[in-house]
Amino acid sequence: MDFGTIRYELEDDGAIARIVMNRPEARNAQNNQMTYELNEAFSSAALDDAVKVIILSGEGPMFSAGHDLKGAAQNYTHEKVFPYSPTLPGSEGYMNAEQEVYFKMCRRWHDLPKPTIAQVHGKTIAGGLMLMWVCDLIVAAQGAEFIDITAGPRFMVQGVEWFNHPWEFGHRKAKEMLFTGEPVSVEEAYNLGMINHVVPQDQLADFTLELARKIAARSSFGLNLAKMAVNQALDAQGFHTAQQAAFNLQHLGHTHSRVLYQQQEIEELKAKLAALDQG
C-alpha cells in the first residue's frame, strides 16, 4: 500500500504487520492524513487472515510529538468513518471533528480483534500518548519519556482526547502529570504498570519482534477472546464512560480557551488602535 505519512510492512510470512509512523521531520506528529492512513493500515491488518499481531512504531528520534497543530487543519479530504459533521458552526463542528479523528478513531483501534504492540522510543508527547495507549502492549527503550502538556495555560484541557491517564498511572500520578506537565520516565512508567518491558535502544526492534512472534504462535481466536475479555473488564469498571465524560469536559476547556484568547486578541488590537490614535 502506498502511504504518505506511514509505512506498512509485513514480516514472518505475513504473520506480523508493522505500521511505522513516517514523519520524522515533524517528529511523527499526527495530522489528519496520518489519522486516516493509520486507520487504513490497521483495518488492512485486521482484515488480513494471515496477520496475527500488529506492531506500531515511529521513524526518527521519537515515537510521536502528538497532534500536528499546523497539519491538523490542512485540507485533507477523506470519507468519514463515523457520522459526525465537522462543518457545523461553533463548538459543535469542532467537537464533531475531534470525535472523528481522535476519540472514536482511538476507540476503534483499541477494539481491533488482533493484539497490538507499541514499540516506543524517545519522547512521547500529548497526542502521541493516545497512539501508544490504544495498543495492548507497550515495549519502550531505555531513556524514553512520556509528557502531557495539554492542561497548560494555552490549551486548558484535562488531557488528550483518549483520556487514559488514571488507568495507566493511577489517579495520583495522573494528577501530577497533568498538573505539572513534567515528564514521566520510562522506569517510573514501568513501575506504575504502563510499560510491559524496558529494553536498550539498540535491542528495541528485535525484542518487540520476538514478543510479537511469541504471540503470533497462539490461536488467533483465542487471542481475540482474551483481548475482548480484558477490554470488557475495563468497560465494566467504567473505562468507556469515564473517557466519554473526559472528552466532553475537554471541549468545555477548548471553548474557554478560544473565548479567552479571542478576548485577549481583541484587547491587544484595541491597545494598538489606541496607540495609533495617540500617535
| DSSP string over the chain | ---SSEEEEEETTTTEEEEEE--GGGTT-B-HHHHHHHHHHHHHHHH-TT--EEEEEE-SSSSB--B-TTGGGS------SSS--TTSSHHHHHHHHHIIIIIHHHHHHHT-SS-EEEEE-SEEETHHHHHHHTSSEEEEETT-EEE--TTSTTT--SS-SS--HHHHH-HHHHHHHHHH-PPEEHHHHHHTTS-SEEE-GGGHHHHHHHHHHHHHTS-HHHHHHHHHHHHHHHHHTTHHHHHHHHHHHHHHHHHHHHHHHHHHHHHHHHHHHHHHHH-
pLDDT in tens, the chain (279 residues): 789 999 999 999 999 999 999 999 999 999 999 999 999 999 999 999 999 999 999 999 999 999 987 765 556 777 888 887 888 888 888 888 888 889 999 999 999 999 999 999 999 999 999 999 999 999 999 999 999 987 665 555 667 888 999 999 999 999 999 888 899 999 999 999 999 999 999 999 999 999 999 999 999 999 999 999 999 999 999 999 999 988 888 888 777 777 777 666 666 666 666 666 565
Identify the pLDDT of residue 21. 98
pTM of the model: 0.89
Calpha distance 38→19 (Å, rounded): 8
What is the assigned CATH class of domain 6-278? alpha beta
Q: What is the pLDDT of residue 89?
A: 86
Within 10 angstroms of residue 69's Cβ, the number of other Cβ atoms is 11
pLDDT at residue number 252: 82
